[in-house]
Structure 1
Amino acid sequence: MTRIAVLIGSTRPGRRGVVVADWVARAAAAHPAVAAGEVAVDVVDLADHALPLLDEPVPALAADYRHEHTRGWAEVIGSYDGFVFVTPEYNHSFPAALKNAVDFLFAEWNDKAAGFVSYGAHGGIRAVEQLRTVLAEVKVATVRTQVFFSMAGDLELFTDPDAWTASTYQTENLGTMLDELIAWTVALKPVRTKAVA
C-alpha cells in the first residue's frame, strides 16, 4: 500500500494549517485510489513531534542520528511514500519549523514525491516556490498542481475557520494534485526499493 502524509508545516498557536490539513484528508478519502484501499492518507502534525532547533552534530546526509527525537522523526518520515505539505506563507517564505524539520533528515526524504496546499494573504505561492527548491536538495520530486487559499478568495478561513468551506474548484484541483502525487509516488517506488537494497 502507498502511504501519503499530509504534513502540517506550521507549529504556531492559532494556525489554520490544522483546518486545511483536515480538509485535505477528508477530501482525499474520496479519491478512487484511497477509497479502493490502494493508498492510505494520514495527517502528520509537526507540533506533535516537538523538534528542537537542529541539534545533530553530524550532517543528515550521513544518517548518523544521535538524538531520540531525530530517530523518532526519521521513523515517521521514512514510513511514508509521498507527502502533501500544508504550509502558510510567513514573510515571503515557509515557516522556520518546517525548514528545521526537513533539515533533520536526508535519506528518509529521498526518491519520494510531494504536492502542496498553501494558504496566506496571497495564497502562500511564494512559500511553495521556496519549499520546492529545498525539497529538491533532499531528492523529493514535486508535482506541478498546487492548491492555495488566499485572503481575497477564502477570507472565512482566516476570520471564521469553523464556517469555511473550500470551493468546488479547489476540491477538484486537490483531486488533480493527488492524481499526480500518487502517480509519481508509484513511479518512484522502484528507485526507493533500489536505494534500500
Structure 2
Amino acid sequence: MTAPTPTPERQCTAHRSSDGERCKNWALKNMTVCRYHGGANRRSRAAAERRRAEAAVDAQARRTLAALGADPVDNPLVALAQLAGEVTAFKDALAERVNELSSIRYATDHGEQVRAEVLLYERAMDRVAAVLGTIARLNIDERLAAISEKQADAVIRAIDAALAHAGVTGPLATEARQVAARRLRAVS
C-alpha cells in the first residue's frame, strides 16, 4: 500500500538538485519543507514551533474578538479621531457631574476624602490630553485630509474614464463633472 500523495499546499517546496523537479514528500507540520530538505534541523523545528504558537494566539484572539463582537480597525486614523470624540464626551459628562456637587470633599471616620466624581474627571482630562496629544503628534487632520483628497481624485478619474468610454466630450463632459462635484460636496 502506497502513501497518499501530498496536496500542493502540504507538499515540500524544495526542488531536487538532480533534475530540478519539486520534492514529492510531505512538508512537516507548520513547515514548508520535508525532513530531508531541512525540516529535521533544530532551527527549523524551533521556527515551526514559533509559527504554531503564533497561530494559536491568533486563533484565540480572533475567537475573543468574535465573542466580543469587535470588528477589526480598517482605518486607525478615523478610529483614533472617534476615540477622541468619545473620551471628550465622557470628560464633558463627568464635568457636569462635578459641577453639580456642592463640595468636592466629604468627611468620614477615617478623615477627609475627595469625591470619586472629581477623581474620575481628573483621569478623563488626562486621557483627553493624551489622545489629543497623539492626534496632534501624528498630524491626523492632515493625513485624513490627504486620504479624502486621494479618494476624491480617484472618483474624478473614474468619472472621467466613464465619460470618455461613453464618448461624452466637450461641454457635456464639463457639465457632467460639475454635477458630480456638486453631488460629492453634498455627500461630504
TM-score normalised to structure 1 length: 0.21
Which of the two has greater strand per residue?
A: 1
Tell which has more relative contact order, 1 or 2 (C-alpha 8 A, sep 6+). 1
TM-score (norm 2): 0.22
